[in-house]
Structure 1
Amino acid sequence: MISGNITFSYWHFALNIIIIGILFSNFSVAKQSKIHELKMNVIDQCWRLNPKWRIQRPQLATCSIGYAGKMINNIGEDLVHYKVIDPSDDPINPKPGTLRYGASVIQGKVWITFQRDMHIKLERPLLISSFTTIDGRGVNVDIAKNACLMVFKATNIIIHGIRIHDCKPQTPGVTMGPEGKVISLGHVDGDAIRLVTASKIWIDHNTLYNCQDGLLDVTRGSTDVTISNNWFRNQDKVMLLGHDDGYVRDQNMKVTVVYNHFGPNCNQRMPRIRHGYAHVVNNLYLGWLQYAIGGSMRPSLKSEANLFIAPTRGNKEVTWRKNNNTNGDAWEFHSVKDAFENGASFTVTKGGRVPKPNYNEEQRFKVVDVKYVRSLTRSSGILRCTKTSLCG
């Protein structure tokens, strides 16, 4: 009888150890998942934890959020995989193997990667065709020192993992257009990336700096744009949303600006908004000179859970509004759950409703508490991706 009790107690003890082990294991997995959630934003969680991302690159197209929605129109059985092996550029007769040939000549769904590290000096602006992805992960690709990127009357485009800098203005001339035809192109300002009458564009994990005009312009009726995980630095005019005060078609513009790192050494336009709507969320602002966010012509802005760190000296105010007697105080600038350090302040529109982004199911994402913004933006800009490890 005593022996039976001892045997029962032993198995009871062993069963408890097993149960505790399972619970502890599940707790550890849950805890690790929570750690990743806090250190890695929802876009990066979607693909960066996959050890096979190199052979499953199109997975990236399912990871976008915000107004661009999921970029699933860029993938499928008819997707062309194109590798850039030649850094040279001919703007009129591009050679196979060059970036321009893949981005402008080949039509349909094209996923562009790069054979090795490259410094590409474009002779004329690169006009990107619809349904094109430029994917710089795994190598260091610089587009610099002359013309840079333009999306002109095109849709469904991903620009990911490229360093774009020192872009210069371009005089009028001819170049290969976005449909493989040579076109005449007028004067082009020295922007890193310019969108002109473009839609459904995702710009993610790029590093942009030191261009003669701006770093990113969304103009002339462009809409459904997501700008995420980028590092903007060393620039006077950073981001322009809306062509000019007279271009009323930009009233339909919708842009999501999320998980970006602004600074150091940025002056203004992070962004500057005309006419349309911007949801600016979970970004890190590391100082400014004139202002961080500005606008004119009745723009709507929801600034949500951003961290604004004012400069040590100079202007502490985040916002700027262009004086216009015909509009009065018609701007809709609202701050929701933002955090302000070093004396930063945000002048909000008094009264009225806070304009909602009204995302559909494929655009929607959870806004993270502002206390995690430093972690969520720590990997902004191009990522370091080695052959033996995940992108970090």
Structure 2
Amino acid sequence: MNAQMWHGHAIRRAAVLIGCTALVLGLTGTAAEARSRDLGREVLGGADGWGSEGSGTTGGSAADAAHVYTVTTWAEVKAALRDGGSAPKIIKVKGVIDAVSEGCDAFAVEGYDFQQYLKDYDPAVWGHDNPVSGEQEDLRAASAANQDKEIKASVPANTTIVGVGKASGIRGGSLQIKAVDNVIVRNLTLEAPIDCFPQWDPTDDNKTGAWNSEYDGVVVYGSTHVWVDHNALTDGRYPDSSLPSYFGKVFQQHDGLLDIVRGANHVTVSWNDFEDHDKTMLIGNSDSAGSTDSGKLKVTLHHNLFRGIVERAPRVRFGQVDSYNNHFVVTGDQSYAYTFGVGKESQLYATDNAFSLPSGVSAAKTLKKWNESPLTAANNYVNGKLTDLIAVHNAEIPGETLQSGAGWTPTLRTKVDPPQAIPGIVDHCAGAGHLR
């Protein structure tokens, strides 16, 4: 075992022996205190990313007894979210809740026939010049509207949603944190919703066509002071590799895992496990949204694990995004496009991260330039070696020359761990089940 391998092994062993709770909480408190924690009453600590700015993020920690709910079904989740308006509330998710327990057929309207849809809009029949229209498209849209109504759950202000124990979560639901303040989502395994009724767009992808889907696992839309912590977000039972193809294109049924858009601000995303997904995280959803997004979309990402992710980890527009102490793992058998997407007027500050790349995948691919927006990318390690990501990118992809210097320096950071130690720490301590 060489020195680098031994060092990684020692860090991993130490993480297991010490315990993730101790690592995350800075080795404070006794074991009995850790066991007696009430996750619903916990708040985001001071100086812990953009979510701690100003009034900070306390979620539903001040809830009275009447507004603490334990839920075991999707109907109960939605009812608890509605109850009491924006009064502080704590929703404890117990067990695995399936938002699509009756299957996709339950949403289909009478007359919708997917096989007929394929016949009607086959490019050999319909072509690639016009969007689809007609009876089957109308019936598809109506079926999609039924699913939309059922699987989306609106999260009000001053709410904490937390998983009970090590294996609680939600399958197929979409948490909509929209135009509210002060929300916490923790300790949940969230399986990305599948779109039962993707739309065929023959004009997409340079008129070769594409299947377009809706629904993100979690959406932060125009909201402020949000903390997303210690969750596992994944495609779960429905990886893209399991999806069929029609008209020569993958029948894509997934959208994002966590999107932060439309003027959302002051968000901390910490200690989450994002796995096996394509378009993972979008921060700012449109180049034309400057009037809404400029000066906002301030997001911190730290101590997250991104494994088997194709792209958008994240893709950034407009925002001051601080990404540190994350571990990005590209597996040998996956598709891979990029990690950080540098978009319009973004000010990405990405330092002290670790990348694990397989043979044949260059560090140059970790960055993708969409627009002319300088970024800071320092003290990042690739396969245990200090690597200047911008320099490698510019040397190998000269048509996408990136400029260095995000123009700001983060101040709201917790302890910054050495990036060489991040694989051992994050791989064992990120995700649901490590808070108890």
Same-fold status (TM-score > 0.5): yes
2:83 maps to 105
Within the candidate set 166, 179, 182, 1:153 is matched to 179
48 and 110 in structure 1: CA distance in 2 versus 1, 3 angstrom threshold: farther
367 and 79 in structure 1: CA distance in 2 versus 1, 3 angstrom threshold: farther
Q: Distance in 1 between matches of 2:263 and 2:65?
A: 28
Within the candidate set 198, 202, 206, 2:227 is matched to 202
Q: Which residue type is aligned with residue 167 of structure 2?
A: N
Maintained 8 Å contact 1:276/1:300: yes
243-252 vs 273-282, which deviates more? 243-252
Q: Distance in 1 between matches of 2:214 and 2:27?
A: 36
Please say if 1:251 is aligned against 2:277: no
Q: Distance in 2 between matches of 1:124 and 1:166?
A: 11
1:68 maps to 51
Q: Distance in 1 between matches of 2:30 and 2:380?
A: 27
254 and 234 in structure 1: CA distance in 2 versus 1, 3 angstrom threshold: same
1:215 maps to 257
Maintained 8 Å contact 1:310/1:342: no
The alpha-carbon deviation at position 83 of structure 1 amounts to: 2.7
| Structure 1 gaps, min length 5 | 1-31, 90-97, 172-186, 325-329, 386-390
2:343 maps to 296
1:284 maps to 327
Please say if 1:336 is aligned against 2:336: no
Q: Which has the higher contact order (CA 8 A, sep 6+)?
A: 2
Q: Distance in 2 between matches of 1:319 and 1:43?
A: 32
Matched residue SS, 2:91: strand
Structure 1 or 2: more helix by fraction: 2
Maintained 8 Å contact 2:325/2:354: yes
Maintained 8 Å contact 1:291/1:315: no
What is the aligned-residue identity percentage? 21
The alpha-carbon deviation at position 71 of structure 1 amounts to: 2.7
Please say if 1:309 is aligned against 2:356: yes
The alpha-carbon deviation at position 45 of structure 1 amounts to: 5.2
66-75 vs 297-306, which deviates more? 66-75
Matched residue SS, 1:103: helix
Q: Distance in 2 between matches of 1:165 and 1:351?
A: 36
Matched residue SS, 2:389: coil
The alpha-carbon deviation at position 106 of structure 1 amounts to: 2.6
Maintained 8 Å contact 1:47/1:63: no
Q: Distance in 1 between matches of 2:269 and 2:405?
A: 27
2:389 maps to 346
Q: Distance in 1 between matches of 2:352 and 2:20?
A: 14
286 and 47 in structure 1: CA distance in 2 versus 1, 3 angstrom threshold: farther
| Structure 2 gaps, min length 5 | 1-13, 101-149, 198-211, 236-252, 392-401
Q: Distance in 1 between matches of 2:378 and 2:187?
A: 30
Q: TM-score, normalised by structure 2?
A: 0.65
Matched residue SS, 2:50: helix
Q: Distance in 1 between matches of 2:328 and 2:22?
A: 18
Matched residue SS, 2:280: strand
The alpha-carbon deviation at position 190 of structure 1 amounts to: 2.0
2:193 maps to 167
57-66 vs 117-126, which deviates more? 57-66
Q: Distance in 1 between matches of 2:174 and 2:222?
A: 17
The alpha-carbon deviation at position 61 of structure 1 amounts to: 1.1
Maintained 8 Å contact 2:50/2:266: yes
Q: Distance in 2 between matches of 1:48 and 1:81?
A: 29
The alpha-carbon deviation at position 62 of structure 1 amounts to: 4.5
Matched residue SS, 1:332: coil
Within the candidate set 111, 130, 144, 2:171 is matched to 144
Maintained 8 Å contact 2:40/2:162: no
Maintained 8 Å contact 2:59/2:157: no
Q: Distance in 1 between matches of 2:414 and 2:358?
A: 30
Maintained 8 Å contact 2:59/2:159: no
226-235 vs 375-384, which deviates more? 375-384
The alpha-carbon deviation at position 285 of structure 1 amounts to: 0.6
Q: Distance in 2 between matches of 1:49 and 1:261?
A: 26
Q: Distance in 2 between matches of 1:105 and 1:77?
A: 12
The alpha-carbon deviation at position 286 of structure 1 amounts to: 0.5
1:225 maps to 267
The alpha-carbon deviation at position 125 of structure 1 amounts to: 0.2
Aligned-residue Cα RMSD (Å) equals 3.1
217-226 vs 119-128, which deviates more? 119-128
The alpha-carbon deviation at position 103 of structure 1 amounts to: 1.8
2:304 maps to 260
Maintained 8 Å contact 1:307/1:339: yes
